[in-house]
Chain A
Amino acid sequence: MTYQKLTRLSMYLTLAIIFSILESMIPINYMIPGIKLGCANIILVLVLYQYGIREALAIAVLRVILMGILRTGLFSVTFFFSLFGTLFSVISMYLTKKTHLSVIGVSIVGAIFHSIGQLLAAMLFLHLHMLIYYLPWMILGSIVTGMIIGYLSQYLLKQLEKTL
């Protein structure tokens, strides 16, 4: 691993954590506690496109662990929500990246699977089986957030290609 790569990935990790903290400071009620917008997904999309699945997974897991230490507490329920969400998100984005979807489409799929992962965690750990009824609504919401994140990522990728 080059120093350049190490430095960039560390920067990305820092940014991901800053995004997560900023997001947790915006008091919006998302109907279900612990289930969030997923701003840190921008970083994951960037890492996935610039490096690959291994780096993206590393950033994702490290972010969840660091967020756990900083905010929610390690191995708390919220911790597992995030972990399931990001893992689902990264893996699904990696798989869809191989198709002919653009960054926006990949980001939407990532957002949808982020929701599905969190929902599965909620159903597993809290026995809130009725949450399944929220799934269609959450997926509709994910399309919107995924699109926003997708456009941002697309723009950033273009800019970064020029400068780096």
Chain B
Amino acid sequence: MQRKLNYVIWIAIPILLILFVIFYFCTKNVENTFTKNLFYMDTYIYIKIENQSKEKAEEAFQHIEQIYQEYHQLADRYQAYDGINNLYTIHYNTDPSETLTLDPRLYQMLTFGKEWYVISNGKIDISMGNIIDVWKQYRTTQTGVPTLEELTLNDTGSIKDIVLLENNQIQNTHPNIDLGAIAKGYATEKVGEYLESIGITNYIINAGGNVKVGTPYQKEKYAIGIEDPNSQSGDIFKVVYGQNISVVTSGGYERYYEYNGQKYHHIIDPDTNMPSNWMKSVTIITKDSSLGDILSTLLFLLPIEEGQEFIKQFDAEAIWYTNEDTIITSEGIEIYEQK
């Protein structure tokens, strides 16, 4: 009996052990979640793809980087790039011709911006590049606050100067355009569309204030935390749950400077040419990232009551973080509060 027992142990157990060791080393190398960090449009962009082969994920990352890079170049106001007309060349070109031909993607963004000028009653104004430049200069040097005269003097841009023609052409009137409220959301939406088109559905794209998620792997909903504008250490004041949604936050707490104890952030109201201070942050939850981006900027520029009224016409929900540190939500937010 004792002999038989030994026979089993000395044959079976080493085989099992070897098998397990092989499996163990397999798991060390086997991975199906891939992440990538990019830096475009002044933000860190974090992309996570779940449940894919390494080759497919790497290929997707390459293409995604290209998408962000191209949108970054098209919407760049400070630099020209070979072979494309971007916001910089629209403003500074010395081309004597009457019209410029644009990349269809830039043309689309400008069309989108002009449409939203009408929808938002002028609150979304892509033609205020000059004012943005003045504020940006003060923000980087931190030397003070622009005077009203300086701002009025520079308030020369008008949406009427941006004349879009047929066949992706724009009239060469050298407008100083800013697509800060549009480009990031637009590019993020395009990246989402690209991922879906190649069959990757389990993904998270986090481009700073713009988060777009697909369907999670092995659970029903993604959980997206919204950062507390008061917190120094990145605490979260609310979590929303969903799949195939975009969550976009606009707030004055990410990019600002302080002068004489007063904070001046980067979201400028076209009516006053000053940073808007109705709230600390506003978050939009909707399907389309480009809609989310523009709605969050717009709602940040509107008093909360007006925003509550305005958002009703869209398939979108909003969360306001007020100056008094209270939280107000739009009526249909419940569907995003369930795990």
Q: Is chain B found bound to chain A in the same assembly?
A: yes
Contact surface of A with B, Cβ cutoff 8 Å: 96, 99-101, 127-130, 132-133, 135
Contact B7 A99 (CB under 8 A): yes
- A116 nearest CB neighbor, chain B only: B19
**CB–CB B8/A101 < 8 A:** yes
Give, as a whole number of angstroms, the nearest-CB distance from B216 to chain A: 13
Q: Contact at A129–B4, with CB atoms within 8 Å?
A: no
Q: Which residue of A lies closest to B7 (CB)?
A: A100
What is the bound-complex CA distance between A135 and B52, given in angstroms? Answer: 20
User: Distance in Å from the Cβ of A110 to the closest Cβ of chain B?
Assistant: 14
How far, in Å, is A42 (CB) from chain B's closest CB?
A: 23
Q: Which of chain A's residues have a CB closer than 8 A to the CB of B26?
A: 132
User: B310 interface residue, CB < 8 Å from A?
Assistant: no
Q: Are A132 and B7 in contact (CB under 8 A)?
A: no
Q: Is the CB of B27 within 8 A of A132?
A: yes
In angstroms, Cα B8 to Cα A128, docked, is 34
Query: Given contacts A99-B12, A135-B23, is CB(A128)–CB(B32) below 8 Å?
Result: yes
A-chain residues with CB within 8 Å of residue B8 when the two chains form the complex: 99-101
Asked whether A96 lies within 8 Å of B12 as measured between CB atoms, the reply is yes
5 nearest CB pairs, A to B: A129-B30, A100-B4, A132-B27, A129-B32, A130-B32
Other than the given A99-B8, A129-B30, A130-B30, 20 more pairs (CB < 8 A) read A96-B12, A99-B7, A100-B4, A100-B5, A100-B8, A101-B8, A127-B32, A127-B51, A127-B52, A127-B53, A128-B32, A129-B31, A129-B32, A130-B32, A130-B51, A132-B23, A132-B26, A132-B27, A132-B30, A135-B23
In the complex, B11 has a CB within 8 A of chain A:
yes
What is the minimal beta-carbon distance from B29 to any residue of chain A, in angstroms?
9
- Nearest Cβ distance between residue B202 and chain A, in whole angstroms? 12
Residues of the A chain whose Cβ atoms lie less than 8 Å from the Cβ of B53: 127
Listed residue (A96, A99, A130, A133) with the most chain B CB atoms within 10 angstroms of its CB: A130
Please, which residues of chain B bring their CB within 8 A of the CB of A128? 32, 51
Quick check: B7 and A133 within 8 Å, CB to CB? no
The contact sample of 25 A-B pairs, CB cut-off 8 A, is A96-B12, A99-B7, A99-B8, A99-B11, A99-B12, A100-B4, A100-B5, A100-B7, A101-B8, A127-B32, A127-B51, A127-B52, A128-B32, A128-B51, A129-B30, A129-B31, A129-B32, A130-B30, A130-B32, A130-B51, A132-B26, A132-B27, A132-B30, A133-B27, A135-B23
> How far is it, in angstroms, between the C-alpha of A130 and the C-alpha of B219 when the chains are bound?
14
Nearest chain A CB to B52 CB, angstrom units: 7
Closest residue to A126 on the B side, CB-wise? B51
Contacts of A129 in B (CB 8 A): 30-32
Residues of chain A lying within 8 A (CB to CB) of residue B7: 99-100
In this complex, what residue of B is CB-closest to A123? B30
Task: Please indicate the chain A residues that have their CB under 8 angstroms from the CB of B23 in the complex.
Answer: 132, 135
Q: Whose C-beta in chain A lies nearest to the C-beta of B15?
A: A95
> Which A residues touch B32, using CB under 8 A?
127-130
In the complex, residue of chain A having the shortest beta-carbon distance to the beta carbon of B3 = A100
Query: Which B22-65 residues have a C-beta within 8 angstroms of A?
Result: 23, 26-27, 30-32, 51-53
CB distance from B122 to the nearest CB of A (A): 51
- In the assembled complex, the CB of B13 is this many whole angstroms from the nearest CB of chain A, namely 12
- Which residues of chain A have C-beta atoms less than 8 A from B11's C-beta? 99
Q: Which residue of B lies closest to A132 (CB)?
A: B27
A164 CB to nearest chain B CB (Å) = 29
Contacts of A130 in B (CB 8 A): 30, 32, 51
Cα separation A135 to B22 with both chains bound (whole Å):
13
Q: Give the CA-CA distance A40 to B159 in the complex, in Å.
A: 74
With the chains together, A3 CA to B23 CA distance in Å?
46
List the B side residues contacting A96 at CB < 8 Å: 12
In the complex, per-residue mask of B219-263: 1 if CB is within 8 Å of any chain A CB, else 0: 000000000000000000000000000000000000000000000
